Amino acid sequence: MFVSVCIITYQRPEGLKRLMDGLSQLTFNNIEVPQIEVVVIDNDSAGSAVKFCEKIKSKFKWSLKTGIEPQRGISYARNRAIATADKNADFIAMIDDDEVPEPQWLEQLLLVQQEYNADVVAAPVLPHFQDDVPNWAKKGKFFDPERYSTGAEIDVAYSGNVLIRNQVLQKLDKIFDERFALTGGEDSHLFMRLYHAGYKLVWADEAIAHEWIPNSRINVQWILRRGYRTWSSHSLIERELYPSMKVQGIRVVKGTALIIIGLLLLIPYFFFRGYHGLIRALLYIYRGSGTFAGLLGIHYQEYQNIGVAEYSYESGIKTSPRPTDTPLLTKERGRG
């Protein structure tokens, strides 16, 4: 069995080092150790990540390939990573550069794929806070992912923790749609397309990766903005894949219900649940608003004008922000 682990990165040396250390510690106790190559694509034209990988290549546990994608944008970088992967690979695994897998991560993905004969296996990304976080953030669980029982069939997945049958990807003319390069949502678009085409997507709850959450994300604006954008993306993609009036009507009902629920809960949530309850109620409203934005074909370009330190996945790396007209990499989780 041959697995290509694909990573895209931009000016995140500490995160990439953590990830590469984690990949070196992968263990295989229940299956034969697969042939593994790790592909790192740098979206920084200066090639800072490539230089780092060249330094560790001789001591790295697995085969290591690198490349540079000079075109700024997450879709371009992801497509370059898959194009760089060995065509003979049986599976493509994807993980982000602000994450660290548990030692059994890849084995669990492969075990679930074999057991359920899945085309795509998705798994949870759990938050890892770097410092003490406010009580409202802990109580609200705003960074906790949706989780399912292992083997459950799902209709969407995300690129932060996923295994894909390479044969499926090789059949596609375009893997990650470049329309989403500046907005995010390119991964949900891919996996919703695959589900729509009849491919099998399942969940592997034990294949865990941990995401380093920077302090820059632990604020109300970031949480509400992300809720709006992710539900907008899901609604927009669904409109494209399922254009029937019935499906769109259901989406209208969902969006309306979210806004109404949020409005009704604003006061009681604030008084009985505290600050995190207020944010939860507002999040309903923002998600509902995002749902309608997607139905209208509006895709919020959250990173159109933002500094390097933030649009590098809001990494929290202490670089000096500078203006830019083009965002780099941003990832998106959540669904409508």
Please report the pLDDT score of residue 184 as a whole number. 84
Q: Is the domain of 167 the same as that of 240? A: no
Please give the mean pLDDT across all residues of the chain. Answer: 89
316 domain-assigned: no
Q: Is the domain of 90 the same as that of 236? A: no
332 domain-assigned: no
Question: Under a CB-based contact definition with an 8 Å cutoff, are residues 9 and 40 in contact?
Answer: yes
91 domain-assigned: yes
**Which of 166, 182, 213 corresponds to the end of one domain?**
213
Residue 199: exposure state from Cβ atoms within 10 A (0-12, 13-18, ≥19):
middle
Please report the pLDDT score of residue 300 as a whole number. 65
CA distance 330 to 308: 11
CA distance 334 to 299: 15
Q: Is the domain of 44 the same as that of 190? A: yes
Q: What are the residue ranges of helices labelled H in 94-215?
A: 105-116, 135-140, 166-170, 186-196
**Total count of domains within the chain:** 2
99 domain-assigned: yes
Please report the pLDDT score of residue 335 as a whole number. 52
Please report the pLDDT score of residue 132 as a whole number. 83
Q: Is the domain of 150 the same as that of 236? A: no
Q: Is the domain of 124 the same as that of 266? A: no
Structural domain span for residue 22: 2-213
Where residue 115 sits, what CATH number does that domain have? Answer: 3.90.550.10
Q: Is the domain of 245 the same as that of 201? A: no
Q: Is the domain of 32 the same as that of 149? A: yes
326 domain-assigned: no
Q: What is the dihedral of CA 5, 7, 12, 14, to 10 degrees?
A: -10
**Which of 158, 182, 213 corresponds to the end of one domain?**
213
CA distance 140 to 272: 13
Contacts of 328 (CB under 8 A, 6+ apart): 10, 43, 72, 73, 74, 303, 308, 311, 312
| Residue numbers in the chain where pLDDT is lower than 50 | 303-332
Please report the pLDDT score of residue 324 as a whole number. 33
Q: Is the domain of 190 the same as that of 265? A: no
Question: Under a CB-based contact definition with an 8 Å cutoff, are residues 329 and 15 in contact?
Answer: no
**Looking at the DSSP assignment, which residues form a beta bridge with residue 209?**
101, 125
Tens-place pLDDT, residues 126-156: 999 987 889 899 899 999 999 999 999 999 9
Q: Is the domain of 107 the same as that of 241? A: no
329 domain-assigned: no
Please report the pLDDT score of residue 333 as a whole number. 52
CA distance 246 to 115: 35
Q: Is the domain of 130 the same as that of 257? A: no
Please report the pLDDT score of residue 327 as a whole number. 36
64 domain-assigned: yes
**Which of 213, 246, 263 corresponds to the end of one domain?**
213
Q: Is the domain of 176 the same as that of 252? A: no
Q: Is the domain of 228 the same as that of 98? A: no
Question: Under a CB-based contact definition with an 8 Å cutoff, are residues 299 and 232 in contact?
Answer: yes
Please report the pLDDT score of residue 297 as a whole number. 86
Please report the pLDDT score of residue 189 as a whole number. 95
